[in-house]
Homo-oligomer: A and B are copies of this chain.
């Protein structure tokens, strides 16, 4: 039986099926010495956010390690450079798709329908002309929804966009063949989707090529009154650039559930005073956790570790070149 090191807030009852096909070792329950003794026989790590306790010298002692399964959809928390090149790493792409897609719609509509803004000042808005207020509201039907990254989250976002009668465009390296979705890629495709979309949803992984993908130049390509929704990773967007853009363009909205890292942790609130801006809406990275809380993504990750234990083909294997 393979030795699986379980590193993170996993509940035993959720790993019951896996426990029948592999030997599970729960990092959080083990003493330091027991962990040290186990290292040379670890075959696989099932990890949530990579824990500080799992240091690089410890990884170096895992001479049998051949597979790392992330329970998070993103894998950028994994220390790629310190893992031997033959270690396979799988993301949990798809495991959070529906829940994160739903959350993207929450942010999108809270922005488009000005709900946060109106709810904050009933005395003020109750006195204004409904027609004047109505003009501020963005109607979705017939508008263009640009989905950046067309994996599980992106396609789940697109499906709802179609139900609202929006024109859906997808920016993706992969082939997109969903009915009614226009696929774009490359430098020209990026320019097209940014310039033509009324709403842009970021659903890309954070990789070498997506880091700071949305900077000053790209924001400048977007419509003045566009809504930019981030449920991916904060670092895809340049913090200083988007803050400056929000200051200059009062009808542009940035709304995000994800935050720029500071000392290895997402900083909420961030360094710049986004929360003081009326054209900003932020939530404390709950989209993924809402999926975890309801149990969906773990099933995906555990299923893949089960495949590993049984010697079957692995899913969601990432290209390490994207991260190193």
Point out residues on A near B: beta carbons under 8 Å.
9, 98-99, 102-103, 105-107, 109-110, 112-116, 118-119, 122-123, 125-126, 128, 130-131, 133-137, 139-141, 159-160, 162-165, 267-269, 275, 281-294
Contact = CB atoms under 8 A, between A and B. Distances in A.
B164 A268 contact: no
Contact of A115 (B98, B110, B133, B164): B110
Contacts of A282: 118-119, 122
A246 B112 CA distance: 27
Given A135-B293, A159-B163, A164-B160, A115 B106 contact: yes
Contact of A284 (B105, B110, B126): B126
B134 A290 contact: yes
Contacts of A140: 102
Given A9-B131, A122-B284, A286-B118, A137 B103 contact: yes
Contact of A106 (B112, B123, B126, B284): B112
Given A106-B112, A118-B283, A123 B165 contact: no
A293 B122 contact: no
B103 A281 contact: no
B288 A134 contact: yes
Contacts of A114: 283, 286
Main secondary structure of the interface of A (DSSP, over half): helix
12 contacts: A103-B137, A105-B105, A109-B110, A116-B116, A125-B283, A130-B288, A130-B289, A134-B288, A134-B291, A135-B289, A135-B293, A137-B289
Contacts of A165: 98
Given A130-B289, A165-B98, A282-B119, A294 B106 contact: no
A125 B284 contact: yes
A201 to B, nearest CB: 14
Contacts of A288: 130, 134
